[in-house]
Structure 1
Amino acid sequence: MAARPVTPTTAGKVPARTDLVVAGVRADRLDDDLAAAGVSPAFAEASGFTGKADGSLLTPAASGAGADVLVVGLGPAADVDANRLRAAAGTAGRRATRHGRVAVTLAEQAADGVDAGAATQAVTEGWILGAYRFDEHRTSPTESKVTAVTLTAGTTKAAKDAVARGVAVAGGVTLARDLVNQPGGSLVPAQLADRIKAVGAETGLKVRVDTPTQMRRKGLGGVLGVAQGATNEPRFVELTYEPKGAARGHVALVGKGVTFDTGGYSLKTAEGMKGMNSDMGGAAAVVGAMSVLAALGAPVRVSGYLPLVENMIGPDAIRVGDVLTIKGGTTVEVLNTDAEGRLILADALRVASAAGPDAIVDLATLTGAIIAALGQRTAGLFGTDDLVGRIRSVAAASGEAVWPMPMPAHLRPGLDSDIADLRNISGGRYGGSPVAALFLREFVGEGIPWAHLDIAGPAWITEAPYGEVPKLGTGFGVRLLADLLVGWEPLT
């Protein structure tokens, strides 16, 4: 587990004993904001600091007395919303490791119309997420000298509540990051299920864990088939959050949980296997989001369904051309064993549908094609129009980027098999992400609003860190799901 960043507190002004002040600088108010922060505009110009978003500049205290100043670019003043503040605080959290007592004044520079509570919550989240490190397997962990973090957001109950919400949400994200960052050999399905049980005990979630014997009774042929080549047994986890008097319905979440993916006999390259411990990012996001629902007071009943497997090669591994029987009796010809995620999700979607929820949202690191289409920072969003529209709106507010994608009808016949009900890939080379979504749609109960988030890009980042987003596991989807469920209203 990673060392936890210092939890912020609030105050009305910068404390007298402060080693570093973090201030925001708006690009179109550059000189004024620099002067207010006590930074020379000439020094900033010589350093190439322009106030653009994600830029930062550390300035030593004048004459060695007082606090050092870290200015973080916010871009144009009109663009300074909660997302911009979160990213700026993340940049500060990543950079500010050499000062003991830190004061953060970022929330004061939100644009007109930005809710003060939302700004404070965003800065809290950003600081914690930017300061996050995963050092469990290092002999010399990254050291931070930070001992106290103060947000100059005031001492009102509203300010304290905003910080508490930010701490809770950031805790869910860091939980998901911790799970995703664990090497595949350190978190096999049974170990992940045990971790989820511990999370449930800590946060009031009900947790049920099915072993292979129980899965056979339930007819989970997709999960069992993918797991055939692995020494480590699969697990199927059901999570339940049920607040008293839940009056806004029932939402089901499904998360792909492949703890390591070799591709099976459709073997990945050595390069392609790097980072495949992250193939359970969807399951991790569901766990992280559900872990904070009680703290945030979400008013809706939520069920989570997590198929946990390794996709390995072994004497009993499924072969190309084998046929699996998914829960409910649908048969699937496996023409690519590396398209395994959709097989385990098919079972989970059938289980979720049988519970009769008002909506289903699944998250999965499903296709490399979505990364080719949208890059590493954006998830592909498929599904029914009403739920897709709502998720788009929530994602924009949560700062987790999604983009709606089509499911063209002309691609569906490519999933027809010559020997079974379906095949797990199409016969063509193109449209890999929509084809995967079309496959999943076959297992969603009739009339149930459904959304599929292909998070293969933003769940695991190989580029440089930015804003509050680190390299490797990001915890993508936790904020989006938490915001969606806290504000849930029945679909009309």
Structure 2
Amino acid sequence: MTAITTSSLPPAAAGGDVLVLAARAADGAPALLTTDAALDLASELGVLAELLPSLGFTGATDALVRVPAAALGRGGSRVLAPTLLVVGTGDASDTAALRRAAGRAARDLAGTGHAVFALPADTAEELAAVAEGALEGAYAWSRRVPEAPTPLARVTVLTPLAPAPRTLLHRSPEDPSAPVIERARILAEAVAAARDLVNDPPARLTPVAFADHARREADAVGRGQGRLDFEVYDERRLADEGFGGIAGVGQGAVHPPRLVRLEWTPKLSKARRRAAAHVALVGKGITFDSGGLSLKPPASMPAMKSDMAGAATVLSATLAAARLGLPVRVTAWLALAENLPGGAAQRPGDIVTMFDGTTVEVTNTDAEGRLVMADALAAAVAEEPDVVLDVATLTGAQIVALGERTAGVMGQARDAVVAAAARAGEDFWPMPLPEHLRANLDSPFADLRNAAVGNRAGGMLVAGLFLSSFVGDTPWAHLDIAGPAYNEKAAWGLTPQGGTGFGVPTLLTFLEERAAVAQATAD
């Protein structure tokens, strides 16, 4: 992970191999955006602003230009960093634009030893955006063959929130930037962990391997601010306890299915413990999805190693909550299986009985995600959480409706998720659950069927309606992240190719907000 620090020193004293600045597209010439900590370079930045148009730089989103410090004339020697890197934010200058710009710059700086970021970071929100963007943009999948370029090694973010340097006569004051940077680091590590899992080849990341990995990661968190309890349901227990959805989807694979339950319980006083919110998170973990006997076309197969992104997101967010010591109880459920067309594979026409006793006619074995999620949702709501969120790469219809960068969210808790996503810098769009579409799931042979074969209308919404049958009266939201969870195209902003870690920032923000509301009530 890239090292990160803050400094209130002026750029000329902070050093670094590269000084990173941002510029917004504006009429006539791009307008430089920088922190108050860089005011001592006002004259040099004025020269730079006049130079940028001649270099063809307009400030467009994700645009980059490198300028040697020597190009600033005699004042360039005061910059100290030999190179200035300017990144465009388009016509925006909000925290989302800063996060993306910092990530774009860090991605371009692979192999660099030390970069000083002088983007606007004068408030805690701006500082968080710049730090998160820089750390997430510096990601590289460490298991790539051949080896990936070395990520940016060190980031210094200039901000007036950092304390002044200690002198012989005065001790350093408290550092208000420290908790912001610590959260940014933990969040970036969680995003990177989710990306790593999604990028792993499916032969390596089987359901058993995923469960073992989750156990190791939970053990590594420790017990300082609370307790992490870990439990795995193997194939025998799944069958014995009635998890027909997970068992049925996994029965065609050599590698058996698993259901992981991970619980974070914070260490709180008795009064605060009674008031603490309980959030259940459910993640789809299809470690490879061939479609089963309803086989996918070959062109759709390579990206299907990413069909466990929901489980990776839920695991990473839960562990981040534990590392931050959030005062909210979290139960995470990872529904893990391979969907393969083996000799024992589930057939179209089979009927399975879910954990809550609901019977489902399987009309399409490629609609397997909703089967494993329904089992895990039924188990999650049986523990009576205050709210349950499920996260899944559930439908291709989500991509058709919203594209590859915007996720859909539906259910009673939908608006709270959208609000958390806006604060986290992620793009979720609220979707309805029209009751008239529920008839698409009617079956003459069971309580419902898993898919409306031959009818593609509202596919994302029909899948959401299927899941809604398993949450009862519990407040719930379904997050379909099929598009943004995996980037098959060119990298952009802070988003790499492959696994993106999308959803982790939103879940962590949602948990923080739930914790804050509950603890305010207790106070």
TM interval, shorter chain, is over 0.9
Kindly report which structure 2 residues correspond to 1:211-226, keeping only aligned pairs within 5 A, or say none.
211-226=234-249
Determine the structure 1 residue equivalent to 2:225. none
Tell me: CA distance 1:255–1:313, structure 2 relative to 1, closer, same or farther (3 Å).
Answer: same
Determine the structure 1 residue equivalent to 2:167. none
The superposition leaves residues 249-299 of structure 1 with CA deviations (integer Å, 9 ceiling, x where unpaired) of: 211000000000000000001111121010001000001101111333322
Determine the structure 2 residue equivalent to 1:119. 126
Determine the structure 2 residue equivalent to 1:21. 19
Distance 1:276 1:470 in 2: 17
CA contact (8 A) 1:226 1:340 kept: yes
1:443 aligns with 2:470: yes
1:69 aligns with 2:67: no
Distance 1:222 1:39 in 2: 65
CA contact (8 A) 2:30 2:52 kept: no
**How high is the sequence identity, in percent, across the aligned residues?**
44
1:432 aligns with 2:436: no
Tell me: CA distance 1:382–1:32, structure 2 relative to 1, closer, same or farther (3 Å).
Answer: closer
Distance 1:61 1:242 in 2: 52
| Amino acid aligned to 1:430 | A
The structural deviation recorded for 1:122 is 1.5
- Comparing 175-184 with 59-68, which one deviates more in the overlay? 59-68
Task: Give 3-state SS (helix, strand or coil) of 2:296's partner.
Answer: coil
Determine the structure 2 residue equivalent to 1:166. 184
1:272 aligns with 2:300: yes
The superposition leaves residues 362-416 of structure 1 with CA deviations (integer Å, 9 ceiling, x where unpaired) of: 00000000101100111111101xx111111111111111111111111111111
Task: Give 3-state SS (helix, strand or coil) of 2:89's partner.
Answer: strand
Determine the structure 2 residue equivalent to 1:482. 508
1:197 aligns with 2:241: no
1:253 aligns with 2:281: yes
Tell me: CA distance 1:36–1:254, structure 2 relative to 1, closer, same or farther (3 Å).
Answer: farther
The structural deviation recorded for 1:41 is 4.2
Structure 2 unaligned regions, length at least 5:
34-42, 164-174, 223-227
Larger Rg: 2
Aligned length: 476
1:389 aligns with 2:385: no
Tell me: CA distance 1:98–1:234, structure 2 relative to 1, closer, same or farther (3 Å).
Answer: closer
Structure 1 unaligned regions, length at least 5:
111-115
TM-score in terms of structure 1 length: 0.93
CA contact (8 A) 1:298 1:487 kept: no
Distance 2:361 2:134 in 1: 48
| Amino acid aligned to 1:53 | T
1:133 aligns with 2:140: yes
Distance 1:238 1:16 in 2: 46
CA contact (8 A) 1:203 1:292 kept: no
CA contact (8 A) 1:135 1:142 kept: no
1:326 aligns with 2:354: yes
1:303 aligns with 2:331: yes
Tell me: CA distance 1:476–1:147, structure 2 relative to 1, closer, same or farther (3 Å).
Answer: closer
| Amino acid aligned to 2:443 | S
- Comparing 457-466 with 431-440, which one deviates more in the overlay? 457-466
CA contact (8 A) 1:258 1:341 kept: yes
1:352 aligns with 2:349: no
CA contact (8 A) 2:30 2:53 kept: no
Distance 2:393 2:331 in 1: 20
CA contact (8 A) 1:39 1:59 kept: no
TM-score in terms of structure 2 length: 0.87
The superposition leaves residues 167-196 of structure 1 with CA deviations (integer Å, 9 ceiling, x where unpaired) of: 011111111101111011110000000110
The structural deviation recorded for 1:16 is 4.7
Distance 1:192 1:298 in 2: 25
The structural deviation recorded for 1:140 is 3.3
Determine the structure 1 residue equivalent to 2:166. none
Task: Give 3-state SS (helix, strand or coil) of 2:381's partner.
Answer: helix
| Amino acid aligned to 2:120 | A
Distance 1:373 1:487 in 2: 29
Determine the structure 1 residue equivalent to 2:157. 151
CA contact (8 A) 2:111 2:153 kept: no
The structural deviation recorded for 1:27 is 2.5
The superposition leaves residues 48-92 of structure 1 with CA deviations (integer Å, 9 ceiling, x where unpaired) of: 21123322211122179642000111334xx42221111111001
- Comparing 475-484 with 291-300, which one deviates more in the overlay? 291-300
Query: 1:461 is matched with which residue: 487, 499, 517?
Result: 487
1:374 aligns with 2:402: yes
